[in-house]
Amino acid sequence: MPTISLRGAAMPPSPIRKLVPFAEGAYSRGIKVYHLNIGQPDIETPPTVLDAVRHAGFKVLEYSHSAGMESYRKKLAEYYRRNDIEVNENQIIVTTGGSEAISFAVTACMDPGDEIIIPEPFYANYNGFAQSAGVRVVPIPSAIEDGFKLPPIEDFEKVITPATKAIMICNPNNPTGYLYSREELETLRSLCLKHNLFLFSDEAYREFCYDNQRHISVLSLEGLEQHAVMMDTISKRYSACGARIGAFVTKNAEVLNAAMRLAQARLSPSTYGQILGEAAVDLPADYFSKIHAEYTKRRDVLLERLNKIPGVFCPNPGGAFYAIAKLPVADSEDFCQWLLEHFSHNGATIMMAPAAGFYATKGKGKNEVRLAYVLNTDEINAAMDCLEVALKAYAPSA
C-alpha cells in the first residue's frame, strides 16, 4: 500500500476540533453541550450583508480577479484607512479566509528550513501552516501569571539564528486574548529592523479591544514598510465565519508579487463571499459599538465566574473573545474528554479546548484550557455551573 508523505504524517491535529467525536457522543445521549471550544460567535450575521448575496443580480457566477474584485479591494482600503492603516487596493490580495492569508505569508516569504519565532501560546494552525511549508516554529513562552504579555526582548535575541526569517504575532491574541501595546510593537519593530526579519501580524480581532484600549496595526509602524505583512479576515468581525473571505496586506512589492502568484495558482476567492464582505464595509458606525458592549459583558461574566472557582485562575483578556484559564487538574485534555464522555449537570456539559495544543513546547499548557466567550451570558453562566460542579466530581483516569 502506498504511504503518505512525512509532511502529511507530521501535520498536527486541531486542539479546537479533536474532541468533536466525543461531543457528538454526548449529543447522541441527549446531553446539551455548551461550546466554548471554538471561536464561532452566536451573534447574528448582519441581515444587510446576507441580503447583498441574496440579491446579487448576475446570471453567470464568474471567477473574480485573482487578487479579488477591485470594487471590494477599494472598499477594504477605505476601511483600513479609517483604522489608521494607509494602504491602497493594489496592496491587498483577497484570500479564502484568514487561513489562506497566513499560508501565503509563510510560503511567499520563507523557504523550507527557515525558522519563524512565535510567542506561545499561539493559534494552533500556525503550526500546521509552518509544517506544510517545511518551516520550523521557534516558540518564545509567555506566562499566564503576567497575563501573557510579550516576552522580554532578550528571549527573542537568544533564539535568533541565521535561519530566522520572521516573527509572527496575533493581535489581539488568539488564544490568550492579550492585546499588544504600542510599546511592545515598537520593540518588535526595532528587533525586525535590527535582524532584517519579516513581522507577520494576524489582526483578525481588530475591533475587539476592551478597557478603552486601541488596536495598533504593524502596518502603521514607521520604518517597517518592507518588513510588515498583515493577515486579516471578516470571519469574526462580522460573524461571517462561513464566508471564507480574508485579506493579505503588505507594502512590500516583492512579497506582494510572490503572494499574487500563489493567488493565481488557486484562481480566485469566492465571489459570493466578496459580495458579502463588500456590503459589510458599509455597515453603520454603531454596529461595532453594540457588538463591543456585548462581548465586554460576556468577558466580564466569564472572568468573574472562573476566578471564583477554587483553584482556577484566568487573567483579564484585553481583546478578541478568548481566555486561557489554569485549572486544578494535571491533564486538561483528559478532563475535557471526561466532560464529554462521562459528565453532565442539569442535562448539560461544557466543551473547551485543551491549551497544550496552542503551545509548541512539549509539556506546556497541560493544566490550561482555552475558552471562547461566544455564547450569551445566560449560557456562559450555565457552562460555568457545569465547570464548577465537574471540577469537584472529576477523578483523573489512570
Are residues 385 and 325 part of one domain? yes
Residue 1 placed within a domain: no
Spell out the residues 6+ positions from residue 141 whose beta carbon is closer than 8 angstroms to its own: 119, 120, 151, 155, 359, 361, 364
Per-residue CA distances from 373 to 201, 226, 314 (Å): 23, 36, 13
Residues 31 and 19 in one domain: yes
57 and 106 together in one domain:
yes
- Residue 337 main-chain phi, psi, to 5 deg: -70, -40
What does the pLDDT read at residue 62?
94
CB atoms near residue 308 (< 10 Å): 10
Mark which of 261, 281, 301 sits at the end of a domain: 281
Is the bond into 21 cis (omega within 30 degrees of 0)?
no
- 60, 103: one domain: yes
Considering the domain architecture, whether residues 266 and 318 belong to the same structural domain is answered as no
According to the model, what pLDDT value does residue 395 have?
A: 76
Q: Is 266 found in the same domain as 296?
A: no
- Where in the chain does DSSP place strands (E)? 32-35, 92-95, 115-120, 136-141, 164-170, 198-202, 228-233, 246-250, 322-326, 348-351, 353-354, 368-372
Q: Work out how many domains the chain is built from and give that number.
A: 2
Task: Considering only residues 331 and 398, tell me which one the structure prediction assigns the higher pLDDT.
Answer: 331
Sign for the pseudo-dihedral over CA of 73, 99, 360, 120:
positive
Checking if the pLDDT of 91 tops 90, the result is: yes
The residue among 205, 128, 209 whose CA lies nearest residue 169 is 205
Residue 397 has pLDDT above 70, yes or no: no
- Kindly tell me if the per-residue pLDDT of 123 is higher than 70: yes
Same domain, 76 and 104: yes
Q: Looking at the structure, do residues 162 and 310 belong to the same domain, yes or no? A: no
Amino acid at residue number 356: A
**CA-to-CA distance for 275 and 253, rounded, in angstroms?**
27
240 and 356 part of one domain: no
Q: Among 236, 256, 281, identify where a domain stops.
A: 281
pLDDT tens-digit profile of 161-215? 999 999 999 999 999 999 999 999 999 999 999 999 999 999 999 999 999 999 9
- The rounded distance, in Å, linking the Cα atoms of 221 and 195 is 17
Confidence band of 398 (pLDDT split at 50, 70, 90): very low
Q: Which of 259, 281, 303 is the last residue of a domain?
A: 281
Q: Is residue 238 part of a domain?
A: yes
pLDDT at 386: 98
Give which of 10, 102, 122, 24 is closest to 357, Cα–Cα.
122
pLDDT above 60 for 143: yes
**Domain-embedded: residue 90:** yes
Per DSSP (E only), the strands in 24-174 are 32-35, 92-95, 115-120, 136-141, 164-170
Give the integer Cα–Cα distance in Å for 112 and 135.
5
Asked if residues 276 and 52 have their Cβ atoms less than 8 Å apart, the reply is yes
Q: Residue holding cell 471562547?
A: 372
Structural domain contains residue 184:
yes
Would you state the cell numbers that stand for residue 317, as one nine-digit string? 483578556
> Is residue 258 in a domain?
yes
What is residue 285's predicted lDDT score, i.e. its pLDDT? 82
Please report whether residue 398 resides in a domain. no
C-alpha cell at 33: 453541550
The CATH code of the domain that includes 255 is 3.40.640.10
Same domain? For 273 and 237 the reply is: yes
DSSP string, 277-330: HHHHHTS-TTHHHHHHHHHHHHHHHHHHHHHHSTT-B-----BTTEEEEE-S-S
Mean pLDDT of 235-252: 96
Give me the helix-helix angle, 287-308 and 377-393, nearest 10°.
Answer: 20
What pLDDT shows up at residue 195? Answer: 98
Q: Note down the domain range covering 157.
A: 47-281
pLDDT in tens, 55-84: 998 899 999 999 999 999 999 999 999 999
pLDDT of amino acid 14 = 76
Q: Specify the pairing of strand 164-170 against strand 348-351.
A: unpaired
Residue that is written with C-alpha cell 457566477 in the block: 61
Residue 316 has pLDDT above 90, yes or no: yes
Average pLDDT over every residue of 286-301: 95
pLDDT band at 10, cuts 50/70/90?
confident
CB atoms within 10 A of CB 323: 23
What confidence score (pLDDT) does residue 248 get? 98
> What's the mean per-residue pLDDT of the chain?
96
Q: Check which CATH number belongs to the domain holding 21 and give it.
A: 3.90.1150.10
Inside any domain, residue 251: yes
Residues 230, 156 share a domain: yes
Distance CA 248, CA 232 (A): 7
- Answer yes or no: do 121 and 206 share one domain: yes
Dihedral angle over CA of 186, 370, 95, 171, nearest 10: -10
Look at residue 233 and tell me if it is in a domain: yes
pLDDT (tens digit per residue) in 100-114:
999 999 999 999 999
pLDDT at 69: 98
